[in-house]
Structure 1
Amino acid sequence: MFSFLIWHPLPPFSILCLGECRPDNYAYTSEVKASSSRRGLNEFAMEKISAACAMEWSIQLEKALRSKKRARAIEAILETGSRLKRWSQEPEAKQAVCSMFSLVPGEDRLFANTILLRLADAFRVGDREIRKSIVMVFLSNHRQHRRNELKKGIKGILSKGRVQNHVELLSRVKAVFETGDVESRALALILFGCWADFAKDSAEIRYLVLSSMVSSSVPEVKASLFAAGCFCELVDDFAFVVLEMLVNIMSMLATAEAMRLSGARVFANMTCSHSVAMKAFKPSKKS
């Protein structure tokens, strides 16, 4: 008997499976995985860059400020403060970074200034609690701005070069100073100090700070001394004027202890040039 070898062709599915195991298909699969990995890294990096999130942050803040629930507005303000602190730790976005995240150059500044302007508007029309929460936000950012500039050389979100609408910001806070009560005036002065990097160039704001140093209200004087100290760090000629006024304030017997402590802190913030040091030394020598 003859035995016949019967050949059975492989079914199409088996051929397809074998075809997927070819070396060139392995390379294709590896390339797809690498591409997916790179895409995942880019998406992860985009989540970490504040400029790419700024539009959404601005919209969320606007919705919360329009809400009739004050607690929601305050929560959004404080959350925005944390986001601004995070943003201030990042260097300004360059051309390559903007291209990576589909941003137009300068778009990050536009969004940042929009957020700052929303906060300034909320300070102008808000109640006591809203204003206090906004001051807390900028006080925290001011402290971080000083640390970053001294240690890392990073210009924060509140630096003069990154704030384009500083005139509008100052005018809104100035309106509160001129029309508000004593507490509102003190809060406005604290904001001027937090914004010293660009507020120092306004003659009107300088005058408001200096005139408030001789106010009869202790909270207003303390707030003006804080603002004066922030200005003195940046402007030497302003420190001359403040120093002369401080000598008179500190030497008056009627000056409250809280005001004396605030005045002493201003001395520490003054730029230590030879002329300023000599001006401070002469009154102490007489006493």
Structure 2
Amino acid sequence: MEKIPAACAMDWSIELEKGLRSKRPGKPIEAILEIGSRLEWWNRTHKLTMSEYNMFGLIPGEDKLFANAILLRLADSFSSGDKNTKLSVAKIFLSEFRQRKKKRSSRENDGVLSKPRVVNNLELLKRVKLAFDTGDVEVRAMALVVFGCWADFAKDSAEIRYVVLSSVVSSHVSEVKAALFAAGCFSELSDDFASILLEILVNMLSSSEVLMAVKLAGLRALAKVGCLSSLASRAYKVLQNSAFLHFPD
């Protein structure tokens, strides 16, 4: 009988650990990319029924335990690894995020990174936040992308929400773009967060000191803000009057 991801989870977790500890050049990155494709496969499968747990000799919840062990190892790698390692981790979560977006609506996440299935979410956020706090602009941008991919549970952390919103007004374009990505992901799941973000975006779009590249990133984030308020009307007027949207004939 062909195995399913849940039945492979223990082996995957062990293989990832061995790969990350390997001293062979490139092996840790290879292990990260491999587990990324496996997580995507896992997301394409349905939740197991009790009969399926019995069929594969699994204890209910065992698959969740190993999935969380895998995620924690990836978060540790992001926290302590070099930039190439951090980039590889960010890439696999971004790829998983894009796959998930194609499959489901923003509010229907039941994959391995959904809030009910990530029991150690505070530890995951803590590790990536450490990298954000101690890293340079590139690392902060990568951490913000990870937060966006983890929006299902990251949005509930007041500390992470503050990190994302404060980064939206950073002086570094790459950090702002990454923060706007994360903020857009949060806004799709939280109307309260969307309202705060919309206020920031209105001010950003109406400012003559903000770079065009940042404004365009702000527009993409604005498209994800679905809250209805007087701010939405203000944003529409700003868009109508913004000089950077007026192109020559």
Q: TM-score, normalised by structure 1?
A: 0.80
Measure, in 2, the Cα distance between the counterparts of 1:70 and 1:173: 24
Give the conservation status (yes or no) of the 8 Å contact 1:139–1:194. Answer: yes
Amino acid at match of 1:250: L
Measure, in 1, the Cα distance between the counterparts of 2:144 and 2:213: 17
SS of 2:104 mapped into structure 1: helix
Measure, in 2, the Cα distance between the counterparts of 1:283 and 1:67: 52
Which of 112, 116, 119 in structure 2 is aligned with 1:161?
Answer: 116
Q: Would you say 1:118 and 2:73 are equivalent positions?
A: yes
Give the conservation status (yes or no) of the 8 Å contact 1:210–1:228. Answer: yes
Measure, in 2, the Cα distance between the counterparts of 1:263 and 1:144: 23
Q: How does 1:259-274 map to 2 (within 5 A)?
A: 259-271=214-226, 273-274=227-228
Give the conservation status (yes or no) of the 8 Å contact 2:202–2:234. Answer: no
Give the conservation status (yes or no) of the 8 Å contact 1:145–1:155. Answer: no
Q: Hey, what does 1:183 align to over in structure 2?
A: 138
Count of aligned pairs? 238
Amino acid at match of 1:181: D
Measure, in 2, the Cα distance between the counterparts of 1:98 and 1:140: 28
Which of 235, 243, 247 in structure 1 is aligned with 2:198?
Answer: 243
* Structure number with larger C-alpha Rg: 1
Deviations 1:180-220 (A, max 9, x none): 11111111111000000000000000000011111111111
Amino acid at match of 1:285: K
The higher-RCO structure (CA 8 Å, 6+ apart) is: 2
Measure, in 2, the Cα distance between the counterparts of 1:155 and 1:149: 9
Deviations 1:142-172 (A, max 9, x none): 1112222239x66111111111110000000
Provide closer, same or farther for how the CA distance between residues 265 and 104 of structure 1 changes in structure 2, counting only shifts above 3 A: same
Shift of 1:258: 1.7
Q: Hey, what does 1:69 align to over in structure 2?
A: 24
Provide closer, same or farther for how the CA distance between residues 215 and 117 of structure 1 changes in structure 2, counting only shifts above 3 A: same
Q: Hey, what does 1:89 align to over in structure 2?
A: 44
Measure, in 2, the Cα distance between the counterparts of 1:224 and 1:154: 21
**Cα RMSD (Å):** 1.5
Measure, in 1, the Cα distance between the counterparts of 2:147 and 2:11: 27
Shift of 1:83: 0.3
Measure, in 2, the Cα distance between the counterparts of 1:221 and 1:70: 33
Which of 197, 201, 209 in structure 1 is aligned with 2:164?
Answer: 209
Amino acid at match of 1:217: H
Deviations 1:55-100 (A, max 9, x none): 1111111001001234111111111000000001111222111100
Percent identical among aligned pairs is: 55
Deviations 1:211-257 (A, max 9, x none): 11111111111110000000000000111110110111111222122
* Stretches (4+) displaced over 4 A: none
SS of 1:150 mapped into structure 2: coil
Deviations 1:22-79 (A, max 9, x none): xxxxxxxxxxxxxxxxxxxxx22xx2x1000111111111001001234111111111
Q: TM-score, normalised by structure 2?
A: 0.92
Provide closer, same or farther for how the CA distance between residues 217 and 93 of structure 1 changes in structure 2, counting only shifts above 3 A: same
Q: Hey, what does 1:198 align to over in structure 2?
A: 153
Relative to structure 2, which stretch is displaced further, 62-71 or 206-215? 62-71
Q: Hey, what does 1:9 align to over in structure 2?
A: none
Measure, in 1, the Cα distance between the counterparts of 2:78 and 2:218: 27
Q: Hey, what does 2:233 align to over in structure 1?
A: 281
> 5+ residue gaps in structure 1?
1-42
Q: Would you say 1:231 and 2:186 are equivalent positions?
A: yes
Amino acid at match of 1:180: G
SS of 1:233 mapped into structure 2: helix
Amino acid at match of 2:74: L
